[in-house]
Amino acid sequence: MTPTILFVPGYWEGPATFEHVISLLVSQGYPTEITELVSTGTTSPGNPSMLDDIAAIRLEVQKLVQEEEKDVILVVHSIAGMLGPSAIEGLGSKVRSDAGLKGGVRKIVFLAAAAAPEGFTHGPMPFFEYDGGAIYCKTPAKLLFNDLDAVATERWMKVLKSQPAAGWDDTVTYCGWKEVPSVYLVCEKDAILPETMQLGFAQLAGSQITRCAAGHMVQISMPEKVAEVVKAAAEDPEN
């Protein structure tokens, strides 16, 4: 069975940044789905929290795995590397197969993504810029889009949305990468999560490592590379 590719974007970006990658995969016969952090585009107070983001991701995975009995490749970018794996407890392929159930998350693909151990509490980041009840990325042209030309940078700057100033500082209680194998695409020109930091995340998760010379928004600057890595994960006979 060809697995379904489920994308989870990171802070500020939303689904639009994955449109090219998704079109490449769909053209090659891969069913795809994309969710969005429910906190993206909101401001404090009264906003969805980090736990709400995790719960929303879980609902999407449950629909694919439990209701439709599909195999899933979970692709997570940036902060979603912490949120996505937190959402799949009991939904991994091996756990479900051992219970006589079909479907499950077969592999996690990290794209310049954060990974955190159980018990980790998210704190303020040096690249956060607060504006009342909102958080934005400081100097996104330099930190997010440093490998894009001026025209593309201007276009994608307009896509960015707010994250809420409160509610994201909660604690990780489950790490799906302990049970589900993973691959990590290290982006060597990333200006927001340096290469050494990414390698540390990959080591923590026990990921197979692959590399490219992209910045943080690799799905925009190197969509073909992302599609290649996702396809390799989907076709891995050891899944």
The whole-number average pLDDT for the span 137-156 is 97
Task: Determine the pLDDT at residue 238.
Answer: 67
What integer best gives the mean pLDDT of the chain? Answer: 96
The number of domains in the chain is 1
Tens-place pLDDT, residues 112-130: 999 999 999 988 889 999 9
* Structural tokens at position 14: 């939303």
Rounded CA separation 31/4 (Å)? 5
pLDDT value at position 1? 79
CATH number reported for the structural domain that contains residue 15 in this entry: 3.40.50.1820
Phi, psi of 93 (to 5 degrees): -60, -45
Hey, which residues does 4 pair with through a beta bridge? 72
Closest C-alpha among 237, 180, 178 to residue 204:
178
Give the distance, in angstroms, between the CA of residue 139 and the centroid of all CA atoms in the same chain. 21
160 neighbors 13 (Cβ within 8 angstroms): yes
**To 5 degrees, how large is the angle CA 99–CA 175–CA 47?**
115
Q: What is the pLDDT of residue 236?
A: 85
Q: Quick one: which H or E segment has residue 98?
A: helix 93-98
List, for residues 55-70, the tens digit of each pLDDT value.
999 999 999 999 999 9
**Is residue 5 over pLDDT 80?**
yes
Question: Which residues span the domain enclosing 165?
Answer: 4-235
How much of the chain exceeds pLDDT 90, in percent? 96
